Amino acid sequence: MRTIRLSLRSRRALLGLAFISPWLLGFIFLFATPLLQSIRFSLSNLSVAPGGYVLEYVGFKNFKDALLVDATFNRILVDSVGAMVLNVPMILFFSLFTATLLNQKFRGRTLARAIFFLPVILASSAVAAAESAGLINLMGDASAVDASADGGASFNVVSIVRMLADVGLPMAYVDYIVEAIMRIYEIISSSGVQILIFLAALQSVPGSMYEVAKIEGATAYESFWKITFPMVSPLILTNVIYTIIDSFAGSPVTQAIYQTAFKTQNFGLSSAMSWLYTLVIGLVLIVVGWVLSRRVHYN
């Protein structure tokens, strides 16, 4: 009898392994192997031969080339990180705000939700590329598009800047807010998933907590900062990480890596670039995760 009981446990383990086996196979052959290979590629000079490829070890030459020789890569990398630093707080603030808004009861809430999540469905780099190309056709060239965009919106911006400056905000903040307003569509369309996550978090906050707060005489403002915010704070970390990864996914860096590999056929340099890029993202994630996880409240 003892052997059978033991085998029940290992049978469960085997069953579990059977369930994850498709993933495990894919992970080993389509994730882990390419990952290790790409490290090897980044240290070598890769030339494509009929039916395969030839590797020639060159040490850290590719990394040096990516950072010091390539004309644009380090600038693009720094720009992308900069854009990320600006974008993440905007997207986060907007999505938390919108989720709180959509969580309230008002007429037409279902319709509002349906509209607010439309950008999740329609966010497509292909459509964006075709749109800007269509616009370029219309305007003649890209600089004209930029100029017209500036021209069309300049009146609003001037009035906003004046208004905010009158209130007495420092110019750096004014710049940031104005930039956020200028790119409102971009921010809205890249915060769909984050809104969903926050909305799910808000729904899981027990309503009795708000009732108690109300009886104790807390204002709406207080109950937001003392109840809502701490309760959704673990999801802020999740959202920050998701936003960072998402903002990198379609960045110019990815494009540069793609171009290097498939236009100039320099696979080694491309792998080195992608590893530098991975390291930068990893570093950002570790720093952000470390800073935020010390402030997060878990219940």
Where in 186-215 is the site for another protein (CB under 8 A)? 188-189, 196-197, 199-205, 207, 210, 213-215
Between 100 and 171, whose beta carbon lies closer to another protein?
100
| Contact flag: residue 177 with another protein (CB under 8 A) | no
Of 237, 235, 214, 238, the closest CA to residue 226 belongs to 214
| Contact flag: residue 131 with another protein (CB under 8 A) | yes
Calpha distance 197→200 (Å, rounded): 5
| Contact flag: residue 35 with another protein (CB under 8 A) | yes
| Contact flag: residue 281 with another protein (CB under 8 A) | yes
| Contact flag: residue 63 with another protein (CB under 8 A) | no
| Contact flag: residue 144 with another protein (CB under 8 A) | no
| Contact flag: residue 151 with another protein (CB under 8 A) | no
Hey, which residues between 231 and 260 contact another protein (CB under 8 A)?
235, 245, 248-249, 253-254, 257-258
Hey, which residues between 64 and 123 contact another protein (CB under 8 A)?
98, 100-101, 103-106, 108, 110, 112-123
Between 131 and 146, whose beta carbon lies closer to another protein?
131
Spatial contact of 94 and 190, defined as CB atoms under 8 Å apart: no
